[in-house]
Amino acid sequence: MTRFFARRAALLVGAAGTLLLAQGLWIPAKAAVAQVLLERAFERSLESGEPHKPWPWADTVPAARIEIPRLGVSEVVLAGGSGEALAFGPTELGGTPPDVRVLAGHRDTHFRFMGQLRPGDTLVLRRVNGQAVRYRIDGFSTVRWNRFAYPASPGRPLLALATCVATGDAHTPLRRIAWAEEA
Protein backbone atom coordinates (compact mmCIF):
# COMPACT_ATOMS: atom_id res chain seq x y z
CA MET A 1 0.00 0.00 0.00
CA THR A 2 2.87 2.40 0.83
CA ARG A 3 4.48 1.70 -2.57
CA PHE A 4 1.19 2.51 -4.28
CA PHE A 5 1.03 5.95 -2.64
CA ALA A 6 4.74 6.55 -3.25
CA ARG A 7 4.27 5.85 -6.98
CA ARG A 8 1.19 8.09 -7.15
CA ALA A 9 3.03 10.86 -5.33
CA ALA A 10 6.01 10.50 -7.69
CA LEU A 11 3.68 10.71 -10.70
CA LEU A 12 1.97 13.81 -9.31
CA VAL A 13 5.29 15.50 -8.54
CA GLY A 14 6.57 14.59 -12.02
CA ALA A 15 3.41 15.93 -13.68
CA ALA A 16 3.57 19.14 -11.64
CA GLY A 17 7.25 19.58 -12.53
CA THR A 18 6.50 19.05 -16.22
CA LEU A 19 3.69 21.61 -16.06
CA LEU A 20 5.91 24.17 -14.33
CA LEU A 21 8.68 23.58 -16.86
CA ALA A 22 6.24 24.05 -19.74
CA GLN A 23 4.96 27.29 -18.20
CA GLY A 24 8.51 28.51 -17.70
CA LEU A 25 9.39 27.82 -21.33
CA TRP A 26 6.17 29.29 -22.75
CA ILE A 27 7.06 32.96 -22.18
CA PRO A 28 10.58 32.77 -23.72
CA ALA A 29 9.20 30.72 -26.63
CA LYS A 30 6.43 33.27 -27.20
CA ALA A 31 8.98 36.10 -27.06
CA ALA A 32 11.26 34.36 -29.59
CA VAL A 33 8.38 33.80 -32.02
CA ALA A 34 7.28 37.43 -31.56
CA GLN A 35 10.78 38.66 -32.48
CA VAL A 36 10.72 36.63 -35.71
CA LEU A 37 7.29 38.05 -36.58
CA LEU A 38 8.44 41.59 -35.74
CA GLU A 39 11.50 41.20 -37.98
CA ARG A 40 9.31 39.98 -40.84
CA ALA A 41 6.84 42.83 -40.34
CA PHE A 42 9.69 45.35 -40.34
CA GLU A 43 11.10 43.91 -43.58
CA ARG A 44 7.63 43.94 -45.22
CA SER A 45 7.19 47.53 -44.04
CA LEU A 46 10.55 48.52 -45.57
CA GLU A 47 9.62 46.90 -48.88
CA SER A 48 6.22 48.59 -49.14
CA GLY A 49 6.96 51.83 -47.25
CA GLU A 50 3.80 51.18 -45.22
CA PRO A 51 3.63 49.74 -41.68
CA HIS A 52 2.58 46.06 -41.43
CA LYS A 53 1.24 44.41 -38.29
CA PRO A 54 3.43 41.54 -37.02
CA TRP A 55 0.30 39.43 -36.34
CA PRO A 56 -3.35 40.13 -37.17
CA TRP A 57 -4.44 41.12 -33.64
CA ALA A 58 -1.38 43.27 -32.87
CA ASP A 59 -2.09 46.74 -31.49
CA THR A 60 1.19 48.11 -32.83
CA VAL A 61 3.36 48.13 -35.94
CA PRO A 62 7.11 48.49 -36.53
CA ALA A 63 8.09 52.16 -36.73
CA ALA A 64 11.86 51.83 -37.08
CA ARG A 65 14.94 49.84 -36.21
CA ILE A 66 17.59 51.13 -33.82
CA GLU A 67 21.14 49.96 -34.45
CA ILE A 68 24.19 50.53 -32.29
CA PRO A 69 27.16 49.24 -34.32
CA ARG A 70 29.73 49.23 -31.49
CA LEU A 71 27.50 46.99 -29.36
CA GLY A 72 26.06 44.88 -32.19
CA VAL A 73 22.55 45.98 -31.19
CA SER A 74 19.67 45.87 -33.65
CA GLU A 75 16.13 46.19 -32.28
CA VAL A 76 12.81 46.70 -34.04
CA VAL A 77 11.12 49.79 -32.56
CA LEU A 78 7.33 49.66 -32.26
CA ALA A 79 4.90 52.54 -32.70
CA GLY A 80 3.14 53.86 -29.61
CA GLY A 81 4.15 53.62 -26.00
CA SER A 82 1.64 51.10 -24.69
CA GLY A 83 2.62 48.56 -22.06
CA GLU A 84 1.57 45.79 -24.43
CA ALA A 85 3.96 47.03 -27.11
CA LEU A 86 6.78 47.45 -24.57
CA ALA A 87 6.50 43.75 -23.78
CA PHE A 88 7.66 42.96 -27.31
CA GLY A 89 10.27 45.64 -27.94
CA PRO A 90 11.27 49.26 -27.55
CA THR A 91 8.57 51.76 -28.47
CA GLU A 92 8.58 55.21 -29.98
CA LEU A 93 6.56 57.63 -27.90
CA GLY A 94 4.30 60.00 -29.77
CA GLY A 95 3.40 63.59 -29.06
CA THR A 96 6.92 64.98 -29.39
CA PRO A 97 8.04 67.90 -31.56
CA PRO A 98 9.22 66.94 -35.08
CA ASP A 99 12.92 67.23 -34.11
CA VAL A 100 12.64 65.06 -30.99
CA ARG A 101 12.33 61.26 -30.90
CA VAL A 102 11.86 59.40 -27.63
CA LEU A 103 12.33 55.62 -27.49
CA ALA A 104 11.44 53.68 -24.35
CA GLY A 105 12.39 50.11 -23.51
CA HIS A 106 12.69 47.72 -20.59
CA ARG A 107 16.16 47.71 -19.00
CA ASP A 108 16.22 43.94 -18.54
CA THR A 109 15.24 43.01 -22.11
CA HIS A 110 15.47 45.17 -25.24
CA PHE A 111 17.29 48.10 -23.63
CA ARG A 112 19.73 45.92 -21.69
CA PHE A 113 22.52 47.63 -23.66
CA MET A 114 21.87 51.02 -22.02
CA GLY A 115 24.44 50.33 -19.30
CA GLN A 116 27.12 49.87 -21.99
CA LEU A 117 26.46 53.09 -23.93
CA ARG A 118 29.17 55.73 -23.85
CA PRO A 119 29.34 59.34 -25.01
CA GLY A 120 30.32 59.36 -28.68
CA ASP A 121 28.56 56.08 -29.52
CA THR A 122 26.79 56.14 -32.87
CA LEU A 123 23.14 55.12 -33.20
CA VAL A 124 21.28 54.60 -36.45
CA LEU A 125 17.51 54.93 -36.55
CA ARG A 126 16.09 53.30 -39.72
CA ARG A 127 12.48 54.25 -40.38
CA VAL A 128 10.07 51.98 -42.27
CA ASN A 129 10.08 54.51 -45.12
CA GLY A 130 13.76 53.68 -45.69
CA GLN A 131 15.17 56.88 -44.14
CA ALA A 132 18.19 56.30 -41.91
CA VAL A 133 19.30 58.96 -39.42
CA ARG A 134 22.59 58.77 -37.52
CA TYR A 135 22.81 60.06 -33.97
CA ARG A 136 25.70 60.42 -31.54
CA ILE A 137 25.33 59.92 -27.76
CA ASP A 138 26.32 63.14 -26.04
CA GLY A 139 25.14 62.64 -22.46
CA PHE A 140 23.04 60.89 -19.85
CA SER A 141 20.62 61.93 -17.16
CA THR A 142 18.61 60.24 -14.43
CA VAL A 143 15.18 61.66 -13.66
CA ARG A 144 11.93 60.71 -11.99
CA TRP A 145 9.44 59.37 -14.53
CA ASN A 146 7.17 62.37 -13.99
CA ARG A 147 10.02 64.87 -14.36
CA PHE A 148 11.26 63.72 -17.77
CA ALA A 149 11.24 66.60 -20.23
CA TYR A 150 12.67 67.32 -23.63
CA PRO A 151 13.22 70.69 -25.27
CA ALA A 152 10.10 71.95 -27.06
CA SER A 153 12.30 73.45 -29.78
CA PRO A 154 15.78 71.92 -29.52
CA GLY A 155 17.34 73.66 -32.53
CA ARG A 156 18.83 70.32 -33.64
CA PRO A 157 17.31 66.84 -34.02
CA LEU A 158 17.48 64.88 -30.74
CA LEU A 159 16.96 61.26 -29.81
CA ALA A 160 16.32 60.17 -26.22
CA LEU A 161 16.50 56.54 -25.09
CA ALA A 162 14.65 56.01 -21.81
CA THR A 163 14.62 53.01 -19.48
CA CYS A 164 14.09 52.24 -15.80
CA VAL A 165 17.07 52.59 -13.48
CA ALA A 166 18.30 49.31 -12.00
CA THR A 167 17.76 49.82 -8.28
CA GLY A 168 16.55 46.40 -7.18
CA ASP A 169 13.03 47.81 -6.94
CA ALA A 170 10.89 46.64 -9.85
CA HIS A 171 8.73 49.76 -9.56
CA THR A 172 11.39 52.44 -9.34
CA PRO A 173 10.27 55.95 -10.31
CA LEU A 174 13.71 56.70 -11.78
CA ARG A 175 14.48 56.66 -15.49
CA ARG A 176 17.89 56.62 -17.17
CA ILE A 177 17.98 58.77 -20.30
CA ALA A 178 20.63 58.59 -23.00
CA TRP A 179 20.60 61.79 -25.07
CA ALA A 180 21.83 61.76 -28.66
CA GLU A 181 21.92 64.42 -31.33
CA GLU A 182 21.85 63.95 -35.07
CA ALA A 183 25.36 63.37 -36.41
Q: Which of 24-28, 42-46, 57-61, 88-92 comes out lowest in average pLDDT?
A: 24-28
172 lies in a domain? yes
Q: What dihedral angle (degrees, nearest 10) is formed by the CA atoms of 84, 89, 92, 93?
A: 40
Looking at residue 170, which CATH number applies to its domain? 2.40.260.10
Does position 161 have pLDDT exceeding 70, yes or no?
yes
- Domain range enclosing 113: 45-182
Closest CA to 79 of 103, 62, 102, 59: 62
Average pLDDT for 4-12 = 79
Question: Which of 13-22, 59-68, 158-167 has the highest average model confidence (pLDDT)?
Answer: 59-68
Q: How many domains, in total, are found in the chain?
A: 1
6 lies in a domain? no
> Is the overall model pTM greater than 0.85, yes or no?
no
